[in-house]
Structures are given as C-alpha cells and as structure tokens.
Amino acid sequence: MRRDYPRFVALDAEVLSIGPEDDAAFRAYWEKHQIPFVGASDPSHAVLKQYGQEVNLFKLGRQPAQMIVDKRGTLRYVHYGHSMADIPSNEELLEILEDLEAEWHEG
C-alpha cells in the first residue's frame, strides 16, 4: 500500500493500518520503513475483537483483514484473510474505491 498510497489519496481515501504491536514497536517499524499513511498499535486487540478479525496461532497469529469505510462511516467492503498471504491487491481495493467515489458524487 505504501507504493500506491498517492493513488489512494487521489481517490479521497485514507489508509489506516492497525497492528498488534505495542506503541514503541509500532512506531519504530513505521519510522524504519517510512510508511506514509496512518498507523495505530492495538496490543489489547480491542479493534480486532470489535471487527471480528481472526487470530490463529497455527497461522502466525492475527490474520490480515482489509476494510473500506465510506465517508458516512458505513463499512462498505471487508476481506478477512485466511492466511498471511490472503490479501486483496491494491488494484482490487482501488477499483472498489473508484466505484464508491463515483457513487458518492452521484448521491
């Protein structure tokens, strides 16, 4: 997502990544990799629990989940990964955002 972040912004979208690390570890990773979008630590798994994200210790812990929330705060897309590699492509997410952006301007 870092590589395509400008494309997300061009669609009036913001990327938020939430990870299980504590604040210090999360901040260090963000700085080391110069991630341009917003990140938040969730070591208590509060967000994970609220949105039903799966934890499977046999598959390296927290499974990936991608969600798109529209400008009204409505969850419009969700993908719960079944493995660490089960993540939609940026192109797929950008297409969904393009459709939502067009719908937003129509309504």
Looking up residue 51, the CATH number of its domain turns out to be 3.40.30.10
Give this prediction's pTM.
0.78
Range of the domain at 56: 5-106
DSSP for 51-90? Answer: HT--EEGGGTEEPPEEEEE-TTS-EEEEEE-SSTT----H
User: Under a CB-based contact definition with an 8 Å cutoff, are residues 53 and 62 in contact?
Assistant: yes
Say if residue 88's pLDDT is above 60: yes
* CA pair distance 18, 48, nearest whole angstrom: 9
Q: What is the pLDDT of residues 36-81, one digit of tens each?
A: 998 888 888 787 777 766 665 555 566 778 888 888 888 888 888 8
Instruction: Check residue 97 and give its pLDDT.
Output: 92
Q: 13 or 54: whose pLDDT is higher?
A: 13
Element (H, E) at 33: helix 23-33
| Domains: count for the chain | 1
Say if residue 103's pLDDT is above 70: yes
Select from 75, 51, 44 the least CA-distant residue to 65.
51
Instruction: Check residue 62 and give its pLDDT.
Output: 64
